[in-house]
Amino acid sequence: MGVNRSKPAGPQMRVKILLLICLSIILCSCTFHEQYPPDWAPLVKPSKDCWTITGMYNDDSSKKQHPLSYVLTGTRVKSPDLNKSNYVQINKGDNDVLIVTVWNENTRLAEKIYKKDDYTCSDEGIEISKGVEVIPEVILGLGRDKYTLMRAADGALVVMYGSSGFGLFGALIPVAVDEIHYYKYSQKK
């Protein structure tokens, strides 16, 4: 009985395996890029330093799955306190810090301070990236969230939420996701 000493996969076999992996990721990917709603007021070009978004905004998006209080405080897990929020205040602090305060009437529920390194000022508005994090749900993988805060001509705050990630669904099936959604919050009067 001889020992089977098969040769390692050659360059052609490696290319085939790589193409098979890429094809399976493409076939198991999901992309959804919502367009900015045409019936919303047009977006205002931000000032050079992006502080046109400071103000107070009702936590009243028509899409209740992403209340403003959760979006801006970076809280993934819904807390009973944040469920009581009715408006969010966005301020510029000393040294260009972005201060987000969540309120219920006159009671402060939460506050998040973003240092200058935690956000960027782009041509669209203030961008807050959460960085790469492990996706703990059904998918074993990595994901990245980005929130862009913009102001509409009617004074509303518009949040463009972008999310992308890749991983293994059920630890077996490769998946890739890329999505963009818009949320609008009215200015508090």
Residue 75 lies inside a defined structural domain of this protein: yes
Question: What tens digit of pLDDT does each residue of 46-99 get?
Answer: 877 788 888 999 877 656 556 666 666 665 445 566 667 788 889 998 888 988
Residue 148 lies inside a defined structural domain of this protein: yes
Q: What percent of the chain has pLDDT over 70?
A: 69
Residue 74 lies inside a defined structural domain of this protein: yes
What's the number of domains the chain is made of? 1
Predicted local distance difference test score (pLDDT) of residue 176? 74
Across 125-153, average pLDDT: 78
Q: What percent of the chain has pLDDT over 90?
A: 9
Predicted local distance difference test score (pLDDT) of residue 7? 58
Residue 60 or 181, more confident: 181
Residue 21 lies inside a defined structural domain of this protein: no
Residue 137 lies inside a defined structural domain of this protein: yes
What tokens does 52 get?
């046109």
Residue owning tokens 């905004």: 57
Residue 18 lies inside a defined structural domain of this protein: no
Confidence of residue 42 (pLDDT cuts 50, 70, 90): very high
Confidence of residue 4 (pLDDT cuts 50, 70, 90): low
Whole-structure pTM value: 0.73
Left (φ > 0), alpha (ψ -120 to 50) or beta: where does 59 sit? Answer: beta
**Strands 98-104 and 139-152, how do they pair?**
unpaired
Mean pLDDT, the chain, rounded, equals 78
- Quote the domain boundaries for residue 89: 28-185
Confidence of residue 38 (pLDDT cuts 50, 70, 90): very high
Predicted local distance difference test score (pLDDT) of residue 71? 65
**Which one-letter amino acid corresponds to residue 138?**
V
Question: What tens digit of pLDDT does each residue of 8-31 get?
Answer: 567 777 787 777 666 666 656 666
Nearest to 125 by CA among 76, 74, 54: 54
